[in-house]
Amino acid sequence: MLLYYRLTSRHEEQVKYYLIFALAALTSGVFFGAFGVLVNSSDNLFYLSISNRVTVITAMFTIVLSLHFYIAFFQYKAPIFLQYCYVICGAFSLLAIVPNQYFLNHAFYSTSKYYTGLEYGPVFQLWGVWILVLAAYCIFILVRVFNRQRVRQENSNTNTVLLLLVANVVWVITGLCDTFTGIQVVDLPPLSWVGSFLVTSCIAWVLVLHIDDLYEERRLLSNRLMYDYLTQAFSRSYLEIRLTEAVNLMLRGELNWLSVCVFDIDDFKKVNDQYGHANGDELLTKITTITKENIRQSDCIARLGGDEFVILFANKQDENYAPTAVERIRKGISNTDFGKAGCSFNTSCSFGIVSVTSEQLALSNENRVKSAPNAQSTQSAIKVQELANQMLSSADDALYSAKNKGKNAVSIGTFSG
């Protein structure tokens, strides 16, 4: 139940089958407890009567809830029969509660040498048939689902269904053994609890695998949003988050220096035209690798789009760190041979850097707030975003200055906030 609550309320997952499984597991737990009391109450009619009736009721609903789970989990069209299953089980439950000669009487009945039950009537025999019908219908549903998954060639789901199918067959066999023991055809120890435990455990295991798949898909989606698909640099949206966080840290005085570098590849269009887009893509990937090798793990390289990149230096540093690191990157790129499939060429990049201290950023923010005296807290957040955008804009201006110097250069600009 706690798992269902967390998935629905905190992660907004539409997982109705987790609630169904929680109810099935609870019912199954009650069944195991009652069955244990039943087996060990051969000399106490009061405990025997209560445990036997609880066992009868919970056995029915464990099967029905398991059936309901299969239908919900595998998105099988729920038949009308399912509604009637709950109604019929409810009717049998009412009969089981009150001692009577037609269902279960309040008197000992030596079921086998292993345990003692209650005297039963013809309606109880009908209940036994109903239990077998329910179990057989579970197997029927699983066979239908198995065939559907096999046609769709969903191997992982097919294996899951096969596991549940085997568990349910074992459940039916153990149920038949207990039924034949009850009517004194054979004399076997109680076995249906083994089948019930096996089915519940298999369903729990299936849910664990499903949760793993669910969050693996979420992780892959998160990675696609966080990283650029080609270069594996961070995405533009992630850069905006990191830059905004860094500006907030600066304004709170937790960071004393912030540097942003914008760079692009000189004459990248000529590279694509002369050597092909495959070599152009390879160039973008290698430049990302060279950049990562020359910055700290705490720094951030992101691809804005095309051949334009941004490096965010947002850790404790001095004013010389960013220019020194960028100069290493520039030399590394210009001294590297690029190309594949028999092609070899050299290229260069131009860089624009802007750095700002926490005092400069705080002063700029104060000036912006003074210009809008009626600003609310939401507008304050907008001011932080504007500061982040202004840093990118200032670094971009410095990049164009490097281009005007003749390319393959580093230009240091000033923050115009």
| Long-range contacts, 379-387 (Cβ 8 Å, 24+) | 384/244, 384/247, 384/248, 384/251, 385/244, 387/247, 387/361, 387/417
Of how many residues is the chain composed? 417
Report d(CA 219, CA 248) in Å as an integer. Answer: 27
Show the tokens assigned to 291: 């950049």
Give CA angle at 144 (139, 150), nearest 5°: 120
Return the closest-CA partner of residue 95 out of 64, 117, 62, 126: 126
Alpha carbon distances (Å) from 333 to 95, 286, 329, 401 = 84, 9, 6, 19
Residue type (1 letter), 320: N
User: Per-residue confidence of the chain (417 residues) as pLDDT tens digits?
Assistant: 555 555 555 444 555 677 788 888 889 889 889 988 988 888 889 999 999 999 999 989 998 998 888 888 888 877 788 888 999 999 999 999 999 999 999 888 877 777 778 888 899 889 888 988 888 888 888 888 888 877 776 656 678 888 888 888 888 888 888 877 776 777 888 888 888 888 888 888 887 787 777 777 777 777 777 888 899 999 998 899 899 888 888 888 888 888 999 999 999 999 999 999 999 999 999 999 999 999 998 899 999 989 999 999 987 667 788 999 999 999 999 999 998 877 889 999 999 999 988 787 777 777 666 665 554 444 455 577 888 888 899 999 999 999 998 899 999 998 876
Question: Hey, which residues does 305 pair with through a beta bridge?
Answer: 308
Q: How far is CA 57 from CA 99, 131, 175, in A?
A: 14, 11, 15
